[in-house]
């Protein structure tokens, strides 16, 4: 099995929870978020770390996506729902709340937040929610939502404790969906025209104690590059579920993966036990870079009725 080793961060930021690395290909910019500190970062990959820009928003922006209709804004899943944010200011506009009036009256809006999301080949934005660990303990209250191009918001999966990364197979017939709390990535049959999923089964089970799959991204061959939280690594997994390679990292709590050209950018979280794992805490919350010699699948843009 091929092994890559990364010894230091590309960006040593000490984020609380860095997530959602996404490549703005036109500008060759990497965008990512720090959920805990409500920051969105952008760095020009031609200019390097010195070009890093940070904008702090008035709510947590947890996952972002490219918009097909705008180069100066992005779509996001945040604390309260799905919205649009400007790239060059902290201006945001909420399009859809996650929770209905009854759920909001019951306090669900305060207890929950978005966690991860992805845009499918038809331009629909899939975004999942979880119990906000800054507010409450984990519980199977998470929901996977699908925002259609006509503005309708659907609940596709409910009762999930650790909803996380997702993607679709290269032939667009399967959807991969992570439940970190179950230490598994599940595979579903997928109808790309209707957006319907069915026939849930286990695709990958991480059996290491204290570890679980987090975010992932796919390369152009359809392999999944999976961040394994708690295990100091990213693993490359074939469409058949075979682990083909791993990227070893100098911090334990690895959260997400994004492609930019033939490089992957890997985000991480502040180690919750820094005294127990001081070697992990040295670079925790950083963003790491690894050249792997294969390109990622193109990022789909969301089609949103404004």
Q: What structural domains does the chain harbor?
A: 2-291 (2.120.10.30)
Within 13 Å, how many C-alpha atoms sit on residue 6's CB side? 28
Instruction: Tell me if 182 is assigned to a ligand binding site.
Output: no
Instruction: Tell me if 128 is assigned to a ligand binding site.
Output: no
Cα Rg for the chain, rounded, in angstroms? 18
Strand partners, 44: 29
User: Looking only at Cα atoms, what is the longest distance across the chain?
Assistant: 52
pLDDT of res. 127: 99
Query: Is 214 assigned a catalytic role?
Result: yes
Q: How many helices (H) and strands (E) does the chain have?
A: 3, 24
Whole-number Cα distances in Å, 166 to 29, 78, 119, 286, 295: 22, 17, 9, 22, 18
> How far apart, in Å, do the first and last CA atoms of the chain sit?
47
Instruction: Tell me if 113 is assigned to a ligand binding site.
Output: yes
Structural contact between residues 283 and 267, judged by C-beta atoms closer than 8 angstroms: no
Instruction: Tell me if 97 is assigned to a ligand binding site.
Output: no
pLDDT of res. 70: 84
User: 214, 219, 263, 271: which one is catalytic?
Assistant: 214
Instruction: Tell me if 28 is assigned to a ligand binding site.
Output: no
pLDDT of res. 71: 87
Tell me which residue has tokens 């009036």.
101
pLDDT of res. 305: 80
CB atoms within 10 A of CB 121: 12
pLDDT profile of the chain (306 residues), mean per 10: 97 98 97 98 98 96 94 96 95 96 95 98 98 94 97 97 98 98 98 98 97 98 99 98 98 99 98 96 98 96 88
């Amino acid at each position: 099995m091929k092994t890559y080793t990364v010894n230091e961060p590309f960006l040593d930021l000490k984020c609380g929870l860095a997530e959602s690395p996404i490549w703005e290909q036109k500008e060759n910019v990497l965008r990512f978020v720090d959920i805990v500190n409500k920051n969105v970062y952008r760095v020009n990959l031609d200019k390097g770390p010195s070009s890093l820009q940070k904008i702090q928003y008035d709510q947590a922006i947890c996952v972002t996506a490219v918009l097909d209709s705008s180069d100066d804004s992005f779509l996001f899943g945040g604390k309260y729902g799905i919205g649009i944010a400007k790239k060059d200011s902290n201006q945001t506009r909420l399009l859809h709340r996650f929770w209905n009036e009854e759920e909001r009256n019951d306090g669900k809006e305060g207890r929950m937040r978005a966690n991860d999301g992805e845009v499918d080949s038809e331009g629909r934005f899939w975004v999942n929610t979880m119990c906000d660990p800054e507010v409450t303990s984990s519980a199977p209250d998470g929901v996977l939502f699908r925002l259609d191009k006509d503005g309708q918001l659907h609940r596709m999966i409910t009762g999930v404790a650790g909803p996380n990364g997702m993607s679709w197979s290269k032939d667009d017939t399967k959807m991969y969906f992570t439940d970190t709390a179950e230490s598994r990535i599940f595979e579903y049959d997928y109808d790309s025209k209707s957006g319907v999923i069915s026939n849930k089964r286990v695709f990958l089970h991480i059996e290491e104690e204290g570890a679980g799959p987090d975010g992932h991204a796919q390369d152009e061959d359809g392999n999944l590059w999976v961040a394994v939280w708690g295990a100091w690594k990213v693993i490359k997994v074939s469409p058949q579920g075979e682990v083909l390679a791993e990227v070893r990292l100098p911090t334990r709590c690895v959260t997400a993966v994004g492609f930019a050209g033939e490089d992957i950018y890997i985000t991480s979280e502040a180690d919750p036990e820094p005294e127990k794992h001081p070697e992990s805490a040295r670079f925790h919350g950083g963003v790491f870079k690894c050249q792997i010699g294969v390109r990622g699948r193109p990022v789909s843009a969301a089609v949103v009725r404004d």
